[in-house]
């Protein structure tokens, strides 16, 4: 088992170096991924040194965790290659598939050999593996996925109006991909975090005369940068969108708003708190984006705090950034901009906290629980009411003619 663990660590270290330092994401450099590379390499080195001193059960547990993470890495590389094949590090990711299978097989064989140690011992080992999977593997795996999210393929879309492909530069040197449909009423809205999936919302706003900037968040689809499915640090992308719209002749008197979905809704609230160029924002499906929101859930969320803290720490390492402020603190700083908190009756990921965010915000503000809706699915569940409320909100606070 020792040689298998060390061989597995070597394969994982090889991919880590390629992913973080040799073939970084477009628009980034090796020094943007120092913690994402050095921390995993240090942990793998610790396993290599400690492996001979571990008991067989502990060796099997470590092999199982590393094997599962290796298979996740291989799956992410395969998914990215199937859609875009954006980076050469996808090739090193493919090597993680046999590595993960070998580690899992080794863990299973070791545990099978341990069966003669007695029923009680086997039960304890099984319970330890289950607890480890829940408290360790799931949050680390989620952090790995969030910062290695495969990019989606963008196809031409029908927005029921002319639009053009544009490049939106950020303050930290990235080029973001976007579509822009010009305004007919002097106001424009940023749609975030991706051009995929929310085209009906764009068509709805365009029908009412609004310009719409459909913006891919950094690391998403065709934008440069490293992805973070929790959106940490991407308020700079929304700031870039605001600056782009301020330069458009069809947008008059700074009449700029934003609409964000899920993580995009969370980032839209944070951007509005920091950038008062956003006069009005609609946040649909905002919820839990770090352990700070988990703490806001009170006793219901306390059991999940250790897991969310580890997930947040994993994200901080891979994204090389610190967790963002809690959304109730963010909401309190949005005024004088207007905020509309929209959440689903059957939501997910902490959406039920939106009334708390609403209470923390100062006026002008609005709140709507969409009957029958699932996560970020308000328009599908209540199309007429959604259009009336959302368009009415923008009409009121962007002073559209």
pLDDT in tens, 240-288: 999 999 999 999 999 999 999 999 999 999 999 999 999 999 999 999 9
Q: Of 76 and 89, which is predicted with more confidence?
A: 76
| Percent with pLDDT over 90 in the chain | 73
pLDDT at 103 over 80: yes
In this prediction, residue 176 carries a pLDDT of 98
pLDDT at 401 over 60: no
Q: Of 113 and 238, which is predicted with more confidence?
A: 238
The residue-averaged pLDDT of 158-163 equals 95
pLDDT at 367 over 90: yes
pLDDT at 73 over 60: yes
pLDDT at 379 over 50: yes
The residue-averaged pLDDT of 279-304 equals 86
pTM: 0.91
> Can you read off the two tokens belonging to residue 252?
């008059």
Give the domains, in start order, of the chain with CATH numbers. Answer: 2-146 (no CATH), 164-289+324-397 (3.40.50.1820)
| Percent with pLDDT over 70 in the chain | 94
Rounded to the nearest integer, the mean pLDDT of the chain is 91
In this prediction, residue 330 carries a pLDDT of 96
In this prediction, residue 116 carries a pLDDT of 59
Per-residue pLDDT band for 120 (boundaries 50, 70, 90) equals low
The residue-averaged pLDDT of 99-126 equals 77
In this prediction, residue 190 carries a pLDDT of 98
Reported as a single tens digit per residue, the pLDDT across 312-357 is 999 999 999 999 999 999 999 999 999 999 999 999 888 999 999 9
């Amino acid at each position: 088992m020792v040689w298998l663990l060390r061989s597995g660590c070597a394969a994982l270290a090889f991919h880590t170096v390629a992913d973080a330092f040799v073939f970084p994401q477009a628009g980034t450099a090796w020094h943007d991924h120092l913690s994402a590379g050095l921390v995993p390499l240090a942990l793998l080195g610790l396993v290599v040194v400690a492996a001979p001193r571990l008991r067989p059960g502990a060796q099997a547990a470590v092999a199982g965790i590393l094997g599962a993470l290796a298979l996740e890495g291989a799956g992410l590389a395969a998914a990215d290659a199937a859609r875009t094949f954006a980076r050469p590090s996808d090739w090193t990711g493919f090597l993680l598939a046999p590595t993960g299978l070998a580690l899992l097989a080794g863990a299973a064989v070791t545990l099978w050999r341990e069966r003669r140690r007695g029923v009680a011992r086997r039960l304890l080992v099984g319970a330890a593996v289950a607890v480890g999977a829940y408290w360790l593997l799931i949050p680390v795996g989620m952090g790995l996925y969030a910062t290695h999210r495969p990019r989606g393929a963008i196809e031409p879309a029908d927005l029921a109006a002319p639009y053009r492909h544009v490049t939106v530069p950020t303050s930290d040197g990235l080029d973001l991909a976007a579509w822009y449909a010009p305004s007919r009423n002097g106001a424009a809205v940023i749609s975030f975090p991706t051009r995929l999936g929310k085209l009906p919302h764009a068509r709805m706003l365009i029908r009412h005369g609004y310009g719409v900037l459909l913006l891919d968040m950094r690391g998403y689809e065709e934008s440069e940068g490293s992805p973070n499915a929790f959106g940490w640090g991407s308020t700079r992308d929304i700031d870039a969108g605001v600056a782009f719209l301020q330069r458009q002749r069809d947008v008059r008197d700074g009449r700029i708003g934003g609409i964000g979905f899920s993580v995009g809704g969370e980032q839209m609230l944070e951007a509005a708190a920091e950038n008062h160029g956003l006069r009005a924002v609609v946040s649909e499906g905002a919820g839990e984006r770090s352990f700070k929101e988990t703490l806001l859930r009170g006793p219901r969320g306390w059991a999940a705090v250790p897991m969310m803290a580890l997930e947040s720490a994993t994200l901080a390492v891979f994204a090389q950034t610190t967790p963002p402020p809690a959304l109730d603190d963010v909401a309190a700083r949005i005024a004088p901009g207007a905020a509309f908190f929209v959440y689903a009756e059957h939501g997910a990921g902490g959406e039920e906290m939106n009334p708390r965010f609403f209470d923390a915000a100062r006026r002008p503000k609005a709140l709507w629980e969409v009957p029958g809706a699932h996560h970020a699915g308000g328009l599908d569940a209540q199309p007429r009411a959604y259009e009336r409320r959302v368009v009415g909100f923008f009409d009121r606070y962007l002073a559209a003619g």
